[in-house]
Structure 1
Amino acid sequence: MQRYFVEKMDDNQSTILGEDVHHITRVMRMSIGDQLICCNPSGKAARCTITEITNESVLANVVEWIVDTVELPINVIIVSGLPKGDKLEYVIQKGTELGASEFVPFIATRSIVKWDEKKSGKKVERWEKIAKEAAEQSHRTKIPTVQAPLTLKQLLSLGESYQYKLIAYEEDAKSGEKSKLASTLEQMKPGDSLLVVVGPEGGLADKEVASLRDAGFVSCSFGPRILRAETAPLYLLSAVSYYFELAR
């Protein structure tokens, strides 16, 4: 059943607006009486029946609320050093499918891509759209937040709000470190948040790692192999899912 995220939804009715109206009427060719799933901003989902269609909106009555839990038990915030090409789009799409709650691009020293502030609005809008579509496809009840890129200083400030924060550091992988990720997950309980920093293609600079460590971040490996910038976040999310959703 097709899933849509809506801003206006009460206990009895949901109102679908914007591009989703076109998708419902022109792409899915739904009509009055057809059913779909609506998710409200708080993460609750309901099976609904379409009762009215106009050019601007689709109204649907709530038939039943869905109680299945599909979100990760902990909130995982992925901080990605800006990679080249469309790699960040890939991370956002697949990371959403794997349960990330937020994506934070990071303007790293070794980022090849130079961030253009003039185009930032449209770029972030595209990332948000990718996250929304991936959340619908994977039947999530929440759309991950996507921020505009942060500087190192801004990232250090962001880290002050989190108790658990890790750095994926290839030097730790090379030295054989393999316990810090597992030990961090062992300390966490449902509802906690984990902030994870992954570098760009060239990795994080030593000064960046030193600054992050000074701010309370813990560097660790994601196994003995060196992962690409777009692979590491997906490895982390898969590990979290296994630990909290399958191994218990």
Structure 2
Amino acid sequence: MQRYFIDAASFGAHTVTISGNDAHHIARVMRMKPGDRIIVSDGESREAIVEIAELATGEVAAEIVELRSMTNEPAWQVFIAQGLPKGDKMEIVIQKGTEIGAAGFIPFQSERVVVQYDAKKEGKRLERWQRIAKEAAEQAHRSMIPQIHPVLSWSALLGEVAGYDLIVLCYEKESESPSRGLREVIGPGSDPGSPRKVLLIVGPEGGFSEREVAEAEACGIRIAGLGKRILRTETAAMVGLTCLMYESGEMGGL
């Protein structure tokens, strides 16, 4: 069943109203008709199966058939801090990370970021990234849409660490540093049922400098390797996130 996220204000006691691009998608792309059913969610506290009652230009009216519990979110909130990569790799990280279960994304600049960041284009870039997250959340039947944070500097990212229960930085030089495997860093006997807010930090194509790793450790960030192989930056984000989802019990772990 097709899923759409709508504004909380569009939820009535017995009806919902869908407008904008989603209304166009329902009427013109999916070619739905009155009587067809879809799932709508406000991304916060309400989700329902609704039946389309009327399709008008730019707006779809539907009647609530069944309220649903919002149970499609992981036990752990895992945020991905991603060093700005080249090309469309950030879009890949957001799309696939949303499907896997990331709670949000924090792009950041660091010493070895090679892409030329243009602050003037940030608004349009964030809007596109948020749209990708919304579409991926709908496809994956998420109960919420991950939030995309504005681009931070490395020092600003380190200033955010107090808000997390666990912070892990993925570092490829495991044999040359005090890095350990991700499972060991998380800690044995983790309770998958306990709420946990986690930040997974992944560097850009060039990885992290030794200075940045030392600064991270000084802030209490745990350093972890992701195996013996060198992974692309977008691959590292997905591998790290998937491992955390498994360890939290999301995929039958622990």
Same structural fold, with TM-score higher than 0.5 when normalized by the shorter chain: yes
Which runs of no fewer than 5 residues in structure 1 stay unpaired?
none
Give the secondary structure class of the aligned counterpart of 2:240: helix
1:134 aligned residue: 136
Which of 192, 198, 222 aligns to 1:194? It is 198
Deviation of 1:45 after TM superposition, in Å, equals: 2.3
1:38 aligned residue: 40
Deviations 1:197-244 (A, max 9, x none): 100000011222222221121111122322210011111221122221
User: In structure 2, what residue type is equivalent to 1:196?
Assistant: L
Deviations 1:148-178 (A, max 9, x none): 2100121012112112111001122666722
Q: Give the Cα separation in 2 of the matches to 1:41 and 1:10.
A: 15
Which of 169, 172, 185 aligns to 1:170? It is 172
Identical columns (%): 41
Deviation of 1:84 after TM superposition, in Å, equals: 0.4
Deviation of 1:125 after TM superposition, in Å, equals: 0.8
Q: Give the Cα separation in 2 of the matches to 1:49 and 1:56.
A: 17
Which of 84, 90, 93 aligns to 2:92? It is 90
**Aligned ranges for residues 69-80 of structure 1 at < 5 Å?**
69-80=71-82
Q: Give the Cα separation in 2 of the matches to 1:182 and 1:156.
A: 19
Q: Give the Cα separation in 1 of the matches to 2:175 and 2:134.
A: 33
Q: Give the Cα separation in 2 of the matches to 1:15 and 1:47.
A: 13
Greater alpha carbon shift after TM alignment, 53-62 vs 108-117: 53-62
Question: Does the 8 A contact of 2:217 with 2:223 survive in 1?
Answer: yes
Runs (4 or more) in structure 1 with deviation over 3 Å come to 173-176, 179-182, 187-190
Deviation of 1:181 after TM superposition, in Å, equals: 3.4
Which runs of no fewer than 5 residues in structure 2 stay unpaired?
none
**Aligned ranges for residues 146-225 of structure 1 at < 5 Å?**
146-172=148-174, 177-178=180-181, 179-183=183-187, 186=190, 189-225=193-229
Give the secondary structure class of the aligned counterpart of 1:186: coil
Deviations 1:10-51 (A, max 9, x none): 442222122101101110111222110001131542111112
Q: Give the Cα separation in 2 of the matches to 1:199 and 1:67.
A: 37
Query: What is the TM-score of this pair, normalised by structure 1?
Result: 0.93
2:253 aligned residue: 247
Q: Give the Cα separation in 2 of the matches to 1:71 and 1:11.
A: 25
Q: Give the Cα separation in 2 of the matches to 1:101 and 1:184.
A: 23
Q: Give the Cα separation in 2 of the matches to 1:227 and 1:152.
A: 21
Deviation of 1:52 after TM superposition, in Å, equals: 2.5
Q: Give the Cα separation in 2 of the matches to 1:177 and 1:161.
A: 23
Question: Does the 8 A contact of 1:181 with 1:222 survive in 2?
Answer: no
Deviation of 1:146 after TM superposition, in Å, equals: 0.7
2:125 aligned residue: 123
1:102 aligned residue: 104
Q: Give the Cα separation in 2 of the matches to 1:80 and 1:173.
A: 23
CA RMSD between the two structures: 1.9
Q: Give the Cα separation in 1 of the matches to 2:15 and 2:220.
A: 46
Deviations 1:116-142 (A, max 9, x none): 011111111111111111111111111
Going from structure 1 to structure 2, the CA distance change for 1:220 and 1:30 (only over 3 Å counts) comes to same
